[in-house]
Amino acid sequence: MTRPPDSSPSPAARLPARERLIFALDVADAVQARRLVEQLGEAVQFYKIGLELFMAGGYFELLDWLATRGKRIFVDLKFFDIPATVAAAVRQLRGRGVTFATVHGNQAIMQAAAGAKGDVKVLAVTVLTSLDRGDLDDLGFQCDVQQLVLSRARRALEAGCDGVVSSALEVAALRAAIDRRLLVVTPGVRPVDNRPGDDQKRVVSVTQAFQYGADYIVVGRPIRDAADPRAAAEDIQRQIAAALG
């Protein structure tokens, strides 16, 4: 029997507004990453470190460096392998100051990650924000995007995951249909209109993301590529404060 959605507040309801911004630290190497973190200072409290830095080397040294500076850390490696291997990988993150880690797989993979998480919160990826209806058709998905997101979110909750990564375009439906204890982290947020060459297709503004019910937003290039990254981050922080106020 389907359980009715929980009306209790999200676990992030009392989170300080300035911790709701997650900056995607997508740069070529750890030296650039440290330089950018120092430049951003107190404008950013939460960092996502993904595949580019993982492949550049020094990933765990950077992770530890961020942790010693009191920063929150989102390990975005989208673990996908046999369940035992995923569990072993997630277990390596325990006790290192990591807040979130992502998995991108079936029920057994999500269950394995959730069972090994310890002090790490596991987020299941629903549908990448770089995909649109045409891409899903090419991949063989017959349902629409919202149906696919809801299905994956339900399965993530059943598997013991703490939350999902989802476009804000589907967050309102998630909040209406899924237990509110499920954290929702939203990428594809743009404080201004998309620039030419931007590979994010399903995007929203900062204000829209929180109006729809996101707990956190992930922003990368609009901060990284700004003439003044710290000023750009502070501007987004002001938009978050206004949206939550």
Amino acid at 20: R
- Residues facing 48 on adjacent strands: 24, 74
First to last CA, the chain: 38
78 assigned to active site: yes
Q: How far is CA 96 from the centre of its chain?
A: 18
**Beta strand 21-24 pairing with 46-49:** parallel
Q: In Å, how far are 177, 203, 211, 232 from 156, measured between CA atoms? A: 14, 23, 23, 34
Helix (H, G, I), strand (E, B) or coil at 73: strand
Reading phi first (left if > 0) and then psi (alpha if -120 to 50, else beta), residue 228 is in beta
Distance CA 210, CA 101 (A): 22
Backbone dihedral region for residue 217 (phi beyond 0: left; psi -120 to 50: alpha; all else: beta): beta
Using CA atoms, how far residue 75 sits from 59, 102, 213, 238, in Å, is: 10, 7, 23, 25
Token pair 């998995």 is found at 103
Active-site residue among 78, 117, 121, 201?
78
Which residues are catalytic, by number? 78
